[in-house]
Amino acid sequence: MLQKAIKLLNDYFGYSSFRNGQEDIIENILNFNDTLAIMPTGGGKSICYQVPALLMDGITIVISPLISLMKDQVDALTSIGIPSTYINSSLTTNELNERISEVKEGAYKILYIAPERLDSNSFRSLLLSINVSMVAVDEAHCISQWGHDFRPSYRSIKNMINEFTAKPKIIALTATATKEVTADICHLLDISETNTFVTGFARENLTFNVIKGENKRDYITKYIKANRGQAGIIYAATRKEVDELYEFLKKNGTKTGKYHAGLTEHERAVQQEQFLFDQVDVMVATNAFGMGINKSNVRYVIHHNLPKNIEAYYQEAGRAGRDGEKSECTILFAGQDIQLQKFLIEQSTLSNEKKKHEYQKLQQMADLCHTEKCIQTYIIEYFGEDAPNTDCGKCMNCMDTRSKIDVTNEALMVFSCVKRMDERFGKTLVAQVLKGSKNKRITQFGFGKLSTYGLMKQKTEKQIVDFIDFLIAEGYLSLTNAQYPVLELSNKAKQVIVEKQQVFKKEQMAIQAIETNDELFDKLKQVRRNLASQLAVPPYIIFSDSSLKDMSSKCPTTSEEFLQVKGVAKTKLERYGEDFIAAICEYLKVGKKDHDIQTATVRKQPAESNNTSSHLTSYQLYQKGSSIKMISEIRGLSEITVQNHIIRAASEGNPIDWSQIISEDEEALIVEKVYELGTEMLKSLKDALPEEINYFQIKAVICKLTLESVNQ
């Protein structure tokens, strides 16, 4: 059975072996045990149910709270030839009915649904009428009220499963679960502890950093500059902060998107799509962004503000490097952020018991920022797992070799000024006094007469504020809880004043690029982007960054070589091989030869595909009169794939009767919108057109227009 699973993994996904942990989990399911899998994000969770689903007779139902993720997963599965679909509130009644009847006909191996769907009686009787072999509960922590995303509908899952006469297998999956939450999942889904697999919370490709007491905007500006062209997410705590940071970065010339709950649904969809399609590099967002974003090539995640707890942090940070490539997670820590999170807890409608729990978690999050031990180890211990024997060796605490500068004198100047202002003012005014500023409030309060007035006049006001932030982060100064927080001296400061302890500040963190330049990699990314916009799927659905990396180091110039690339199997070779191989050949002929490849291979032309290409097979069936639906059934492909095949064949000059796809009226409507909105964003086009016009028709019109313009 396991051998069969490995063969399927190779045939469909292009990997020759399972990753750490996957094999045990899959074997356990194939032995008919209900299973709980706790795997880090990016550890390949979905393979754990997708491969067994192919080995079972009936259909696998995947319950996921994330509507946008469903479409993504289905696109990805469809792109490798696994028949799958989703049913959720984003569908029209027609689409819904169509999919339900297809499910009844057994057209799919995998069906994604939202948990709320289980509350519908008619849907439950549909499930009972078909052969459900497995139920995969994704984001299983949503079942526990101690988890960070409790979803009451998850509680219906067990009841639903009990209604079946032949009980389907259960696999529950999550990336973040404390011991408490794990026990809850097992209890509520009736999974025994022996069937629980924890494959480790460590994310070996991620580097964790905490930056304290530095100016956040300066840091972000430098960081983005050092990592230009890489995709990154910046999380900020409030909508206002997102808006401001977004404007700031745009002014700096960074290709930036933004996302928060204050935007309309349409705006959010557009922003998200631009990020998924690599049209913007940086996404500035509140924590509303990311649930369900499966973009695998996010190279960095920066937390502009302190997250509310370590679970939320690790989940958000974990959106970096899902493709297994080296990526970075950075928290920009400032003392005020703790006040903000406390305020948010205080304002919430949680019970007192739950609030206490949240305060405690916030404290643990703040402790993470102050710890001097390995940050990855700290996180693993937080989740209750035995820490590994060795530290990660790359987080900022493991790597910190910066020299310390004695800043005791400057610190004493600040302490003395705070004291002389009776610990009644905020950091801006303290900084202005130290700078010797002549503004009205200073004259008004008579601060010009203080002995500390102008004591740091050689520094800029911003430098002084940054230094005060550093003293807050290190616990020398504290900010009160009030609406206008006031600076106070802590005991640690008093020790400096009275006991003559020294204050050290480390040199600024040097910012380095996460990746070095690779010209071929950039070219392959361009090929991927072009294909993605032709097929209207996000680029990473075509190939992950790690596949492109591998491609750029292996430089395959034949089909056989191309199959050796990580993540390439037959379907992907057929669909995309030609384009990438052509780009590699072109690069090798004209480019620098710093890639380690033998000249003999360089001269070789890409191998001709010996069988008819997949898209032409679909096209021929279509020309013989088969409907899209029939072809998709015959070939075990999704209808969208078949539609794309036909468009591709047409775009290559094969004759086609367009009137079968679009009426003249519809065509006129689409053409008008294409001229108005362009063809870059299919989704915007779709949204701007009447609901009954589908993507196939839009793509057909674009194809027709392109052909006409070429033939003119």
Binding interface with Zn ion (CB under 5 A): 374, 376, 391-392, 395, 398
CB of 329 to Zn ion, least distance (A): 12
CB of 233 to Zn ion, least distance (A): 22
Judged by phi (left if over 0) then psi (alpha if -120 to 50, else beta), residue 260 lies in beta
CB of 392 to Zn ion, least distance (A): 3
CB of 372 to Zn ion, least distance (A): 11
Spell out the long-range contacts of 451-460 with Cβ–Cβ below 8 A and sequence spacing 24 or more. 451/416, 451/420, 452/413, 452/416, 452/417, 452/420, 455/413, 455/417, 456/410, 456/413, 459/434, 459/435, 460/435
DSSP lists the bridge partners of residue 284 as 234, 258
Task: Give the pairing of strands 110-113 and 231-235.
Answer: unpaired
CB of 207 to Zn ion, least distance (A): 8
| Inter-residue contact 299 to 514 (CB < 8 Å) | yes
In the numeric block, which tokens belong to residue 80? Answer: 């490798």
What is the three-class DSSP state of 47? helix
CB-wise, 286 or 397, nearer to Zn ion? Answer: 397
CB-wise, 393 or 678, nearer to Zn ion? Answer: 393
Sheet strand arrangement including 206-212:
206-212, 327-333, 298-303, 231-235, 282-285, 256-259
CB-wise, 40 or 115, nearer to Zn ion? Answer: 40
CB of 391 to Zn ion, least distance (A): 4
CB neighbour list of residue 199: distance below 8 Å, 6 or more residues apart: 20, 21, 22, 24, 25, 37, 38, 39, 40, 43
CB of 381 to Zn ion, least distance (A): 12
CB-wise, 374 or 471, nearer to Zn ion? Answer: 374
Residue nearest to Zn ion according to CB distances in the complex: 374
CB of 224 to Zn ion, least distance (A): 24
CB-wise, 327 or 547, nearer to Zn ion? Answer: 327
CB-wise, 398 or 607, nearer to Zn ion? Answer: 398
**Which is nearest to 638 in space by CA: 544, 704, 555, 541?**
541
CB of 373 to Zn ion, least distance (A): 8
**Which is nearest to 369 in space by CA: 317, 318, 330?**
330
CB-wise, 126 or 398, nearer to Zn ion? Answer: 398
DSSP lists the bridge partners of residue 233 as 283, 301
Q: What are phi and psi of 134, to 5 degrees?
A: -150, 145
CB-wise, 207 or 644, nearer to Zn ion? Answer: 207
What is the three-class DSSP state of 106? coil
Write the single-letter amino acid at 531.
L
CB-wise, 390 or 599, nearer to Zn ion? Answer: 390
